[in-house]
Amino acid sequence: MSTDEERRALHEQNRRSWNAVTAAHNSHKLDQAGFLRRGGSTLYPEELALLGEVAGRRLLHLQCNCGQDSLSLASLGADVLGVDISDAAIQTAQELAQASGLPARFERADVLDWLDAAVAEGRRFDRVFSSYGTIPWLADLPRWARGVAGVLAEGGELVLMEFHPLCWSFNAEGKVVEPYFIEGPIPERGGVNDYVARSDGALSPSGHAPGVVDFENPEPAFAFQQTVGAIVQALADANLFVKRLWELPYSNGCKLFEGMEPLPGNRFGMPKGVPAMPLMLGVVATRR
């Protein structure tokens, strides 16, 4: 972005869009607190494999949304702090923490501002974690990477599990219709959608309910295309060493577009007749 003021305006609009959709998302998820209390987890094997042992580790979960993954990590013994821009999401996360009895903490802030302040205050973490639809909402990826590097303790690691940026080139039928390289903000006029409803229960491990039907978000949103090259370059420029780069031919939990084939483990692959393509991207980077 050309100015911090423009970045703030776009992030603020995204905050409103996420606030508007949060209740719809959670309307499809039954007894989340009870599920977590009973040892349930919303984490997938891929992010657990990248995170490694988390017990006793100071873990920062950036763009944690409603905190289900944060609380799942807390149940594994991690000392978890979740940060998200959405007031509604953080309120839900705090309520879930109290109802489930799990000790994760949550703070509401624009992640870029939060990282700047945390670096200045000397806050440090052994792991920084972010997953599934997070960095496409960042107007300034290099600043995010510098902030992550600044809060990592010596030898600490960033673990990022994201939908592959190539996904956003596909239309609903799984055909490539958009360029991979797009500069500037991408208007999402329909706002953040109710992807939980579209997942047909894959994103509701505690149990799925019809909930809000045909949700329409009154608040638009703005996304940003962060290519694989842009991600790796931002990390390198922040003096982070990429020790693992992992591409996967399926998506966890989300039907990214219509016609995707259901796979075991609440995963989805490309539609029949469409060649396999990378749908998820995993990154582990260490502070040098």
DSSP for 96-141? HHHHHT---EEEES-HHHHHHHHHHHT--EEEEEEESS-GGG-S-H
Q: What top-level class would CATH report for the domain 4-287?
A: alpha beta
Neighbours of 57 (CB within 10 A): 20
DSSP H or E stretch at residue 32: helix 32-37
Provide the residue ranges of all domains of the chain, joining segments of one domain with +: 4-287
Name the phi and psi angles at 161, rounded to 5: -120, 115
User: Nearest-CA neighbor of 250 among 164, 152, 174, 136?
Assistant: 164
Give strand pairing partners of 161: 131, 282
pLDDT tens sequence across 39-78: 999 999 999 999 999 999 999 999 999 999 999 999 999 9
Distance CA 179, CA 169 (A): 6
pLDDT at 1: 45
Identify the band that residue 2 occupies on the pLDDT scale cut at 50, 70 and 90: low
Which residues neighbour 146 within 8 Å (Cβ) at sequence distance 6 or greater?
115, 237, 238
pLDDT tens sequence across 165-216: 999 888 877 778 889 999 989 999 899 999 999 888 899 999 999 999 999 9
Q: Are 238 and 148 in contact (CB under 8 A)?
A: yes
**Amino acid residing at 267:** R
DSSP H or E stretch at residue 37: helix 32-37
pLDDT tens sequence across 233-247: 999 999 999 999 999
- Greater model confidence, 273 or 251: 251
Give strand pairing partners of 240: 287
Neighbours of 44 (CB within 10 A): 18
- Two tokens, residue 14: 């995204």
pLDDT at 174: 72
Distance CA 47, CA 162 (A): 10
Mean confidence (pLDDT) of the chain: 95
